[in-house]
Amino acid sequence: MSILDQFTRLSLPDCSFANQTIVITGANTGLGLEAARHFVRLGASKVILGCRNAASGAAAMVDISSSTGRDDVCEVWELDMADFTSIHRFVQRASALERLDAVVANAGVAKVRHSMTTAGIETTIAVNVVGTFLLAIGSLPLLRKSTAQTGIPGHLVIVSSGVHKWVRNEIAPLSFSLMS
């Protein structure tokens, strides 16, 4: 991918998301914000903005409402992907939803300096890998239930990046064996 690829104009999606409930993590900025805006524009009945900071989530909600002309579609739910208790609370709250049609696991970090979460896990791994998969696995039962009830296939999308390409070749790859 070159820098020019970032300036390619893509066509906007136009399929309907009428009556659907969507969860998007990291929805207060960047790709998450724009994805949320598109789901609202495409008629979703509920778009849940999973955000670490409720105030920035609320600002995103106002921005989406003003740009789409649709109020009362977005809800801000606090979600800290580096805090596994926060993820568990979020999944428990989501399990009470009437339906869940899509989860866009977009939240992620790219820490330049090594840092640890309160659980003692390196922050980038905790957020981008462990937390993302805890959310994904926790969401699957409701996605499946909704699919069975509505006949509309549920979607689980995990957003990733090309940051792995930044690693220098001199660094030895991590390897291990599952065989003893």
Domains defined for the chain, CATH in brackets = 16-166 (3.40.50.720)
Compute CA distances 145 → 104, 122, 136, 139, 151, whole Å: 17, 34, 15, 10, 10
The pLDDT-based confidence of 167 (bands split at 50, 70, 90) is low
Each residue of 82-123: pLDDT tens digit?
999 999 999 999 999 999 999 999 998 887 777 888 888 898
Q: What is the pTM of this model?
A: 0.85
Each residue of 48-70: pLDDT tens digit?
999 999 999 999 999 999 999 99
Beta bridge partners of 102: 22, 155
Look at strands 102-105 and 21-25 and give their pairing.
parallel
Query: Could you give the 3-state DSSP secondary structure of residue 48?
Result: strand
Helices and strands in the chain: count of H runs, count of E runs:
5, 5
